[in-house]
A and B are shown apart, each in its own frame.
Chain A
Amino acid sequence: MKGIAHYISGVMAASFCPWAVQAATEGNPLYFILGGAFGILPDTIDFKFYRFFYRHDFYVDPDAQNPDPQTIADELAAAVDKARSAGRPIRIKLNTVRMGADYWRQYVVRFDSENQEVQVRIGPVVNTGQVPVPNSEPKDRAVGRAKLSAPIIQTYDATTRVDIFDGPTFAFEADAQGRVMLHFLPWHRNWSHSFLVAAFWGLLGWLLWNWQAAVVIVAGYSAHLLEDQLGFMGSNLFFPITKKRFMGLHIMRSGDAIPNFSAVWLSCLLIFWNLYRLTPGLRYHFNFLHLIVYGAIFPIGLFGVVHWLLTRGDKGREAPIELEDEFGDTMTT
């Protein structure tokens, strides 16, 4: 999920603690700040600290002027081969291709388990908002393919887009059956995304403040881990006891607008409800059903109806069904 969804979930978790609301009413914002900060902390650790110290065995650095998809595919295939012979995980980093202050050359990597090959396609130039620049696609169909020396087992998406800021990392790890496991972003959602690490932070909070702070910290941190588990990548939930990420539930993707907005909105409503029920002496009275009707069903329903009215005519003008994927292969429909 997006940072704001994790953050507000942490604040929401804090709002369930009566002492947090009580302290806030008396002018002490500590528990809510802790809830939010620890709600976003697992990703902060990964993206602002750990990834800069994560070492790689190979770096793929495409030429900005003349990116060669075959070279990229060959380097990836070589990394897979090395993973088989080295007897340890091999980490490879795909660097992004910066074309200017706001422009990046996109390229797409796909591991095709069926044909045991890796495919790379050079895409358009995109801006930092990942919007393609018109007519910036390479003139030739720039696709590179390389055969892999072992069958590949994927735990995440088969296709990875490389475009803005920091490129992705893959870790290849050979197993006893001679296959190679592909781990996407091995530095992410690993040790930092563990309930035991949450407990460690809680212990630290207890030492620094009190047990109430510890509860808020563990609740905020754990809310993050549970939300992430709804996605595809999963997390290493019990590090250091476990060494690998548990598979996600595949219910949503981290960048999807609707689940993210729903999490934020629901958190806001629950915070509001908790403040209402834990604040004495209020003039107005309502129940949870009122809140849900006025706060969720009515506005979201109104948005849905207007959205439907505005887009219902588009059904007949939908884009033609794509019969080829990004690599020109025929897609089954």
Chain B
Amino acid sequence: MLTAEFLYKSYGGKAVLEDVSFDLGQEETLAVVGPSGCGKTSLLYLLGGLSSPDAGRVLLRGASVTRPTPDISIILQDYGLLPWRTVIDNVALGLKLHGTGRAERREKARAQLAELGITGRDLDYPANLSGGEQQRVAIARAFVTSPRLMLLDEPFSSLDALTREQLQRTLLDVWRKRRIPYVLVTHSLEEAVMLGKRIMVMSGRPAHPVAFFDNPGFGDANIRDTEACFSLLKDIRHTVEDVW
């Protein structure tokens, strides 16, 4: 489905990512954890075609990703909603850019918002919404184009704990229905265990994968309360303590 091969990226002569390789299968989800500022966002930008690697390549279903494509939706940090567009126009933006007619894109956007529990807010602006609502709108915008792959950049980092947990469950619910594979970048180990079928631990700069963990409990809404979760978290924490 998605393959990253020997990715290398530098800014101003300083390596940010080095030798990053992994695969993501159909219906799989990958949580990438790493210390703050290690280059996780840079990795996501490479995967989404928003920037180009200095070496290596990204393949989506065998085709090289060199620029943003409708097959990949990205949820950026701080939601990435346009403050000058209404909720409905923000959600429908991707469809608009791909040439979908106004009535059709609004209908799809409305349905997607309803699926995420946002109704009657079409004509509000992002500033009228709470952080959690803004994130739901951002998720709706990413899903409405029916992408083949989702990329999420610390999507819940600026939310309070309760809202974060609600939205994590919402994301899992949508994933169960749609089965769209995603790569999620986070610095929270707990979030990685909640949302990643596989977990990739990155080193500090220049970042590279140091360990992969399978998460057999993935998809269980109550995973936080399971012994397997504690055990997995303990293993990841041991790895992290050695390399961060």
Task: Tell me, yes or no, whether A binds B.
Answer: no
